[in-house]
Amino acid sequence: MLLTAPIAMPLAAHAQGATAAETCLAVAKNFPLGAKLPRTASVLRSNQPLTIVAIGSSSTVGLWMTDQAKTYPEVMKSELLRLIPNARITIVNSGRSGDTIPGNMARFETDVFAHKPDLVVWQMGGNDFTWLESGESLQSKIVTGIRAIKAQGADVVLMDQQFTPMILATQYAKMQGAIAAAAQQEDVAYFRRFDVMHKAVDSGVPFLALSSLDGLHMSEDGYNCVGRGLARGIVAAVR
């Protein structure tokens, strides 16, 4: 039986002094991933070490964070360990700034599979929107990547784009549609980062509180909300 600590609710969205990350978490409330994570659940229930590989672009690298502990993969690990105190978790950060979906896939063998992951978090979409490509073509590429990961026996969580000013200036909906369709087609988990951040902004969090000054990448609070929210989604998916 997997024993988890209760998920402490962050401060209410209107609470005076609440950080943007706390408000982001409070507004979202829960983080359904839409699919189970059977291998992850099995590893945790058997008290075996869990290896998670995060693959993606600058959002995974944690651009603008000078402290690795503030990147979303490390925040996710800290939150997982808080929620599952006896877990043994290794995080491998295989982010590469500027990378694309095909670029990620080209690195799967060396930067993902070589680490023998139980769970792969695949963050995508921020650098592919400039290419004139159909949603169906994008979906096909993502499905190919998902199947390659599943062939290794690992669980998959897809993560979409961030809700930031520069992303909103793109055809972001096409990419989101492709990611959602691929997740549904392959019955894999999908962390809707865009929606989580969007809800926070709609609730009154200043746009630039979750995004960096460049208008593209996330701020410290953005990484914090995403990392903690994803961890909570993972815990819910393995219960």
Which pLDDT score, from 0 to 100, does residue 111 have?
99
Total of domains in the chain: 1
Which pLDDT score, from 0 to 100, does residue 13 have?
42
Assess if residue 161 is contained within a domain: yes
Asked if residues 145 and 124 have their Cβ atoms less than 8 Å apart, the reply is: no
Assess if residue 10 is contained within a domain: no
pLDDT in tens, 229-239: 999 999 999 99
Assess if residue 18 is contained within a domain: no
Domain extent, residue 105, equals 26-238
Which pLDDT score, from 0 to 100, does residue 45 have?
96
| CATH number, residue 179 | 3.40.50.1110
Say how far apart CA 49 and CA 47 lie, in whole Å.
7
Which pLDDT score, from 0 to 100, does residue 5 have?
56
Q: What is the 3-state secondary structure (H, E, C) of 162-185?
A: CCCHHHHCCCHHHHHHHHHHHHHH
Assess if residue 68 is contained within a domain: yes
Which pLDDT score, from 0 to 100, does residue 98 have?
92
Assess if residue 126 is contained within a domain: yes
Closest by Cα among 10, 7, 34, 31 to 22? 10
- Residue ranges of the chain with per-residue pLDDT less than 70: 1-17, 129-131
**Can you give the pTM of this predicted structure?**
0.91
pLDDT in tens, 17-46: 689 999 999 998 889 999 999 999 999 999
Q: Is the dihedral of CA 52, 56, 62, 68 positive or negative?
A: positive
Closest by Cα among 41, 8, 42 to 26? 8
Assess if residue 19 is contained within a domain: no
Assess if residue 129 is contained within a domain: yes
Assess if residue 231 is contained within a domain: yes
